[in-house]
């Protein structure tokens, strides 16, 4: 089911039209500014014959300047720093069967195969090309996450690969990257304009830029509709390629698994790995920890994903849209490769070792040692917090300081404790206060509560994968940071904190 020259030309024409609409935003901005300048020049020539309002020229200047500013938002904006992601090239001799399967799948789809496969330490599956035009002279690479290889069956992985190869069959990836770049710039401009929109329009000098901004947003959203249509249609077309060549059942399973694997691994990195890296450590048996974490949070991940609202600016269809599209796409009952995707690798463990930890010099630790490693970080955080709280809670043993903090929250609330560690909140809006204040108390006062429970009440730190660091106390487990977070919210929260700290 190869693609024809006609379909490539049609794809190329749609992409060029979309680029024209997106690039037209700049012409639109320049046109308004030029129009305001032309009107000003005309008024200068007419001024000897007609009465020109005094405010006409300043208003026209404001319109021209506002239009140029709206246009420039897409060009001059802060961007995240460019980072070099860790990856390794998978040699063909270490995965002969995988390369052979990819080559056969590419030939079946009618797409050029890849020159190499790059392995990343995550759950991604994507395609990359550099150089060339309309598929001629480009270098192609398939990017696969080690987590995806580890978690998928062979048939499921092939549906993901077929989707990515479908992008090559559809046309020139470099033009689509240009669409993505323009799309991202325009989204940035629209969001900036929405944030800067004044709540009141008193006076002509506020009304004029507001009108210009509304015109820019209207055109920008029109252009985004076009780019959305092209980019989303491209993804759905690639899904149909995967369903047609590998099978619907395998595609739906692979789509669901990759979705969950990505969120699960991100959570594992944030909650389990980053605290260890900050302590200059790295788990000696990372994948046992990940499996335990995935088993514990699988239900929570499903609930989290069910609540996610799709962004109106997202260039990819939602999961539900992709499922509906796959269910309506033509498919055949194809035999699936049933083995684990890992079976295609001669030495998956050696491949992971080549990826290596994110930094050099990290000490390898067992999961049973994590509580001791992280307790040292808690002690450091508690010392920093006690210095910040000195004027509010005074000196003393951890237990006394924690009890004074609980009393302070019960009597006057939590604002003093939050301001002691985040003085910038003093003049913050209520929305910022509600977002940052409780987190500051949880992080810093929670560390003091933790040390109070351990050194003051004889508890000990316990690490359970998938849970925050806890303290074993009186035969049960308590989380000091949860106690600190919930205390300011209610009398019951303060009572729970006081009960944990003891009489």
Structure confidence by residue, pLDDT tens digits, 391-406: 888 889 999 999 999 9
Does residue 440 belong to any structural domain of this protein? yes
Does residue 305 belong to any structural domain of this protein? no
pLDDT in tens, 87-106: 899 999 999 999 999 999 98
Q: Calculate mean pLDDT across residues 411-429.
A: 82
The structure tokens 């995707």 sit at 341
| Residue pair 217/188 in contact by the 8 Å Cβ criterion | no
| 270/273 Cα distance (integer angstroms) | 6
| Residue pair 430/450 in contact by the 8 Å Cβ criterion | no
pLDDT band per the 50, 70, 90 thresholds, residue 413 = confident
The structure tokens 């000195």 sit at 390
| 469/464 Cα distance (integer angstroms) | 7
pLDDT band per the 50, 70, 90 thresholds, residue 436 = confident
| 12/261 Cα distance (integer angstroms) | 34
Does residue 351 belong to any structural domain of this protein? yes
Shared domain check, 372 and 351? no
Does residue 104 belong to any structural domain of this protein? yes
Paired strand residues for 224 = none
Paired strand residues for 470 = 462
pLDDT in tens, 291-322: 999 999 888 887 888 777 776 667 788 888 89
Shared domain check, 469 and 377? yes
Residue 292, both tokens: 């335990």
Residues 6+ apart with CB under 8 A from 169: 2, 3, 109, 110, 111, 241
> What integer pLDDT is reported at residue 3 of this predicted model?
46
Shared domain check, 389 and 351? no
Does residue 108 belong to any structural domain of this protein? yes
pLDDT band per the 50, 70, 90 thresholds, residue 81 = very low
How many residues make up the chain in this entry? 503
Shared domain check, 336 and 473? no
pLDDT in tens, 329-352: 887 666 666 789 999 999 998 999
The structure tokens 């040390």 sit at 451
The structure tokens 């019951």 sit at 492
Shared domain check, 456 and 344? no
| Residue pair 324/318 in contact by the 8 Å Cβ criterion | no
> What integer pLDDT is reported at residue 123 of this predicted model?
87
pLDDT in tens, 21-37: 666 767 777 788 888 88
Shared domain check, 274 and 138? yes
Residues 6+ apart with CB under 8 A from 369: none
Shared domain check, 102 and 149? yes
pLDDT band per the 50, 70, 90 thresholds, residue 176 = low
Shared domain check, 338 and 273? yes
Angle between helices 204-246 and 5-46 (to 10 degrees): 180
Report the b/e string of 317-340 with b at 16+ CB within 10 A: beeeebbebbeebebeeeebbeeb
Does residue 203 belong to any structural domain of this protein? no
Q: Calculate mean pLDDT across residues 420-448.
A: 84
Does residue 310 belong to any structural domain of this protein? no
| Residue pair 454/471 in contact by the 8 Å Cβ criterion | yes
Q: Calculate mean pLDDT across residues 53-72.
A: 74
Residue 120, both tokens: 């990343």
Domain that holds residue 154: 88-172+245-298+329-355
What DSSP string runs through 445-468? IHHHHHHIIIIIT--EEE--TTS-
Distances (CA, A) of 424 to 445, 446, 501: 17, 20, 30
**Overall number of domains in the chain:** 2
HEC string of 244-280 equals: HHHCHHHHHHHHHHHHHHHHHHHHHHHHHHHHHHHCC
* 249 pLDDT above the threshold of 60: yes
Q: Calculate mean pLDDT across residues 218-237.
A: 74
Which one is predicted more confidently, 355 or 200? 355
Shared domain check, 391 and 268? no
Does residue 256 belong to any structural domain of this protein? yes
Which one is predicted more confidently, 66 or 95? 95
The pTM is what? Answer: 0.74
| Residue pair 12/171 in contact by the 8 Å Cβ criterion | yes
Shared domain check, 343 and 474? no
Residue 367, both tokens: 């999961």
Shared domain check, 413 and 345? no
Shared domain check, 370 and 333? no
Residues 6+ apart with CB under 8 A from 301: 260, 263, 264, 267
The structure tokens 């150089």 sit at 131
């Amino acid at each position: 089911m190869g693609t024809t020259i006609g379909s490539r030309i049609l794809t190329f024409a749609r992409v060029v039209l979309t680029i024209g609409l997106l690039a037209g935003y700049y012409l639109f901005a320049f046109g308004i500014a030029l129009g305001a300048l032309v009107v000003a020049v005309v008024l200068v020539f007419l001024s000897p014959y007609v009465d020109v309002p005094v405010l006409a020229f300043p208003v026209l200047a404001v319109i021209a300047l506002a239009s140029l500013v709206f246009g420039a938002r897409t060009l001059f904006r802060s961007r995240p720093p460019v980072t070099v992601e860790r990856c390794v090239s998978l040699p063909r001799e270490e995965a002969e069967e995988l390369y052979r399967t990819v080559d056969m799948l590419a030939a079946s789809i009618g797409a050029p195969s890849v020159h190499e496969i790059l392995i990343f330490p995550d759950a991604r599956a994507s395609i990359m090309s550099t150089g060339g035009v309309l598929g001629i002279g480009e270098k192609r690479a398939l990017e696969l996450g080690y987590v995806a290889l580890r978690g998928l069956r062979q048939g499921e992985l092939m549906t993901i690969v077929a989707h990515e190869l479908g992008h090559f069959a559809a046309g020139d990836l470099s033009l689509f990257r240009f669409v993505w770049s323009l799309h991202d710039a325009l989204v940035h401009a629209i969001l900036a304009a929405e944030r800067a929109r004044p709540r009141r329009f008193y006076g002509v000098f506020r009304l004029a830029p507001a009108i210009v901004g509304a015109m820019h947003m209207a055109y920008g959203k029109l252009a985004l509709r076009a780019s959305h249509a092209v980019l989303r249609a491209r993804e759905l077309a690639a899904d149909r390629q995967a369903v047609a060549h590998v099978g619907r059942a395998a595609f739906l399973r692979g789509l669901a698994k990759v979705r969950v694997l990505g969120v699960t691994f991100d959570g594992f990195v944030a909650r389990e790995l980053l605290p260890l890296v900050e302590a200059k450590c790295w788990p000696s048996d990372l994948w046992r920890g990940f499996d335990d974490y995935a088993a514990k949070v699988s239900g929570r991940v499903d609930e989290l994903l069910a609540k996610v609202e799709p962004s109106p600016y997202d260039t990819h269809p939602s999961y539900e849209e992709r499922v509906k599209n796959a269910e309506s796409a033509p498919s055949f009952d194809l035999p699936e490769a049933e083995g684990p995707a890992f079976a295609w690798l001669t030495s998956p463990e050696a491949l992971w070792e080549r990826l290596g930890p994110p930094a050099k010099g990290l000490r390898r630790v067992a999961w049973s040692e994590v509580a001791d490693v992280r307790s040292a970080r808690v002690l450091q955080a508690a010392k920093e917090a006690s210095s910040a709280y000195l004027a509010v809670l005074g000196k003393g043993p951890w237990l006394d300081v924690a009890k004074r903090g609980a009393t302070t929250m019960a009597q006057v609330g939590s604002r003093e404790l939050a301001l002691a560690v985040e003085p910038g909140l003093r003049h913050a809006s209520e929305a910022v206060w509600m977002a940052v204040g409780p987190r500051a108390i949880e992080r810093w006062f929670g560390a003091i509560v933790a040390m109070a429970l351990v050194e003051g009440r004889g508890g000990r730190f316990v690490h359970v994968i998938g849970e925050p660091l806890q303290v074993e106390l009186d035969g049960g487990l308590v989380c000091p940071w949860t106690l600190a977070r919930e205390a300011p919210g209610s009398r019951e929260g303060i009572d729970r904190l006081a009960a944990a700290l003891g009489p």
